[in-house]
Structure formats: structure tokens, C-alpha cells
């Protein structure tokens, strides 16, 4: 057996949302909606992380790929977890709902009930079914024919009470609890008798899937109908989360807690990269970081940029961030401080 082949990191679009959350004024009309979206995304990621332990108990050789997003003309499709085994492929759609859930197979909706209020969600079983269909087309297109594909929706919040009528086979057969996953895998392994893939073929297929993964990288400002001049500028203090550090004697100084940091501007450049773009000039950087000295800004940009083009005042600095790292710890700390 084997654990996850592709690291389960914070998806790029969530990093962009987080950066926007910290730099959008709280009195902005879109702030409440943005805050709710962040909560939903983080809850979903937490729910997905809870799948790792039961997946580690699967008894046969397999490879697990989290958050895989593949292109199938004319669009992309995304799978929370894809488990590749010798006998079958398993799609797991993770859902971290709260409160009471009513599954309606007549109109294919999930109704969340809390006290006297209701929220309606799309049918996750239909989502997983569509993912299965798209994956089968993608596999066929890439030379993998007739591989059995199973799909299930895993409810990762143990406090959620599910209400599924006995006659509702559509949901009863495909919606499972987290605790059900190991026994389900054993049942599927017994159900499928034929081995379709060797261990080397599983490795090759997994490699092909990961190489074809394409992250979702939206223009987060356009998506939320926010212009660059509406976001907050300045440098965050990593100790107290105050926005507005000042450059003093080559150090960033926080007037709120007194913390000094030589490299605080690097997080500001990451925010610029996530929110605005991957190119910046000296004047744009000074404006975004509230930095006065052109030569100081030039030295900072030269140390951070991956490529430099143009001369003198037309010089452009290419910014880069590797999404396959966990370098954004400062966002987690700020989230704690802001009680997100």
C-alpha cells in the first residue's frame, strides 16, 4: 500500500481568496460574502484532510491523488480524491456539511436544516457521477480503456445527521460516513475480481494524471468584481498582524508592537502576485508597500524576482511563487489572529 502521491496543499484559488480577505476593508460591501466563502473553503479542506487516516488503512496496494483537476475539452473537471488500485479506480467526493441534512432524490438536492432555516445544495452524488463519466472519457482518450470506476460521497463531519429515506437508493448507496470507508474498500476489492493494472502500471497512470493536473488560477479580483484600487496596501507585521510597517534603516518596523523584520516585504510581494499579477515595476512596488526609497525597492526586487526585463524606469520584475510548497504559513497565523 502507499500513501498520497500528490501533496494535499492549499489550492491556489484559496490562497488568492485568503490574500484578498486580508486586504479587503471590512466595510467593503463584498467582505461578508468573501468571508463566508473563505469559511466554506477552509471547512472543505479540513474535511478532506480527515480522509487521510482511513485511506492509510486500505489493505491493498494503491495510490491516492488529492485535488486532481484535469482538462477534457472544452473545460476542466476536478476530483477531491482519486484512489488508483489494481482492480478499480475510486472517486471520493468529500463533503463537510453541518447540522441536519435531508437528501431529496426527486429534485436531486441536499437541504440543510438548522432550527427553522434552510439552505439548498446541489446533489453531490450527481457531481461524483459526472466526475466518473468525465474521468472515463479522459482515461479512454489517454489510452486507458475499460478501467472500472467507483464513486462515493464521503460525509466528513461526524456531527452531521443524515436523513435519507429507505426508498432513496440514489443516495443511500452512494453517501457514506468517514468511518465506513475502510470496510467499503474491502467490499469493493472483493466485488472486483480482475486485476486491470500492475503496480508499475499504477505508477505510470498516477504519474500521467499528476503531469496533466492543472490548478485553478482565477483572476480573483475580477471574479469578485473588485478593482486593485479597492484593496489595502502596506506591509503586514508577522507578529501582531498590523498592516502598515515602516521601513527604517533597512528594517521594517511595526509601530503597534515594535517588531522588526528585514524581509516582511516578501509576503507583500506574494500578495501582489496572488491578487494583481506576476510582473511589477519599482514604482508599483513602492506604491503597494508604502516604501519611499527607489534604491531600497530596487534591491528588494532584484533579490526576489526570477527575471528582469527593460532598463531604468521601464524595468519590470517577474515574480514567482511555487504553489507546491507550504510557504504561506503567515496566512495561517494571520487567520488565527483575525479569528477567521
User: Domain limits of the chain?
Assistant: 12-211, 233-337
Count the neighbouring beta carbons within 10 Å of the beta carbon of residue 227. Answer: 8
Burial class (CB in 10 A: 0-12, 13-18, 19+), 269: buried
Distances (CA, A) of 196 to 8, 79, 148, 149, 212: 27, 21, 9, 12, 22
Is the confidence at residue 282, as pLDDT, over 90?
yes
List, in sequence order, every residue forming a beta bridge with 70; answer none if it has no partner: 77
Of these ranges, 108-112, 220-224, 327-331, the one predicted with the greatest mean pLDDT is 220-224
C-alpha 68/C-alpha 2 separation (Å) is 17
Does this model's pTM top 0.95? no
Please give the order of strands across the beta sheet that includes 63-72.
Answer: 63-72, 75-84, 89-95, 149-155, 175-177
Q: Are 64 and 80 in contact (CB under 8 A)?
A: no
pLDDT in tens, 151-186: 999 999 988 888 898 889 999 999 999 999 999 999
Which backbone phi and psi does 98 adopt, to 5 degrees?
-125, 170
- The reported pLDDT for the residue numbered 1 is 46
Helix (H, G, I), strand (E, B) or coil at 153: strand
The rounded percent of the chain whose pLDDT value lies above 70 is: 93
C-alpha 265/C-alpha 285 separation (Å) is 10
| Residue 85 DSSP one-character state | -
Average pLDDT score over residue span 29-40: 92
Of 51, 9, 57, 11, which is closest to residue 157 (Cα–Cα)? 51
Q: Which residue in the block uniquely carries the three cell numbers 494503491?
A: 62
Q: Which residue in the block uniquely carries the three cell numbers 477531491?
A: 80
Would you say the C-alpha torsion 92, 186, 199, 147 has a positive or negative sign? negative
- The reported pLDDT for the residue numbered 332 is 54
Q: Confidence band (pLDDT; 50, 70, 90) for 6?
A: low
Average pLDDT score over residue span 201-225: 96
Q: Which residues contact 103 (CB under 8 A, 6 or more apart)?
A: 110, 162, 163, 164, 165, 168, 171, 175
pLDDT in tens, 60-76: 899 999 999 999 999 99
Average pLDDT score over residue span 233-237: 96
Distances (CA, A) of 297 to 91, 127, 242, 243, 294: 48, 48, 21, 18, 5
Q: Confidence band (pLDDT; 50, 70, 90) for 100?
A: confident
- The reported pLDDT for the residue numbered 2 is 44
C-alpha 332/C-alpha 258 separation (Å) is 21
Considering only residues 46 and 227, tell me which one the structure prediction assigns the higher pLDDT.
227
- The reported pLDDT for the residue numbered 310 is 83
Amino acid at each position: 500500500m502507499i500513501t498520497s502521491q500528490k501533496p494535499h496543499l492549499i489550492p491556489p484559488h484559496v490562497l488568492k481568496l485568503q490574500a484578498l480577505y486580508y486586504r479587503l476593508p471590512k466595510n467593503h460591501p463584498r467582505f461578508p460574502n468573501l468571508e463566508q466563502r473563505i469559511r466554506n473553503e477552509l471547512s472543505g479542506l479540513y474535511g478532506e484532510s480527515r480522509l487521510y487516516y482511513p485511506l492509510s488503512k486500505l489493505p491493498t496496494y494503491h495510490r491516492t491523488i488529492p485535488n486532481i483537476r484535469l482538462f477534457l475539452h472544452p473545460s476542466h473537471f476536478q476530483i477531491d480524491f482519486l484512489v488508483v488500485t489494481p482492480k478499480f479506480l475510486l472517486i471520493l467526493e468529500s463533503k463537510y456539511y453541518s447540522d441536519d441534512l435531508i437528501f431529496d432524490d426527486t429534485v436531486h438536492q441536499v437541504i440543510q436544516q438548522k432550527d427553522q432555516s434552510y439552505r439548498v445544495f446541489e446533489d453531490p452524488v450527481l457531481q461524483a457521477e459526472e466526475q466518473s463519466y468525465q474521468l472515463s472519457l479522459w482515461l479512454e482518450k489517454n489510452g486507458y480503456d475499460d478501467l472500472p470506476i467507483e464513486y462515493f460521497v464521503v460525509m466528513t463531519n461526524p456531527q452531521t445527521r443524515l436523513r435519507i429515506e429507505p426508498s432513496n437508493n440514489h443516495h443511500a448507496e452512494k453517501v457514506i460516513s468517514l468511518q465506513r470507508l475502510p470496510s467499503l474498500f474491502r467490499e469493493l476489492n472483493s466485488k472486483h475480481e480482475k486485476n486491470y493494472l500492475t503496480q508499475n502500471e499504477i505508477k505510470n497512470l498516477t504519474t500521467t494524471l499528476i503531469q496533466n493536473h492543472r490548478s485553478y488560477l482565477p483572476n480573483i479580483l475580477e471574479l469578485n468584481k473588485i478593482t486593485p484600487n479597492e484593496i489595502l496596501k502596506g506591509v503586514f507585521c508577522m507578529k501582531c498582524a498590523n498592516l502598515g510597517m515602516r521601513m527604517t534603516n533597512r528594517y521594517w518596523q511595526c509601530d503597534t508592537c515594535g517588531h522588526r523584520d528585514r524581509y516582511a516585504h516578501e509576503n507583500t510581494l506574494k500578495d501582489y502576485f496572488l491578487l494583481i499579477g506576476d510582473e511589477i515595476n519599482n514604482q508599483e512596488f513602492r506604491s503597494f508597500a508604502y516604501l519611499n526609497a527607489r534604491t531600497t525597492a530596487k534591491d528588494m526586487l532584484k533579490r526576489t524576482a526570477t527575471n528582469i526585463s527593460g532598463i531604468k524606469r521601464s524595468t519590470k520584475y517577474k515574480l514567482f511563487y511555487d504553489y507546491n510548497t507550504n510557504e504561506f504559513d503567515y496566512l495561517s497565523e494571520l487567520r488565527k489572529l483575525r479569528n477567521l
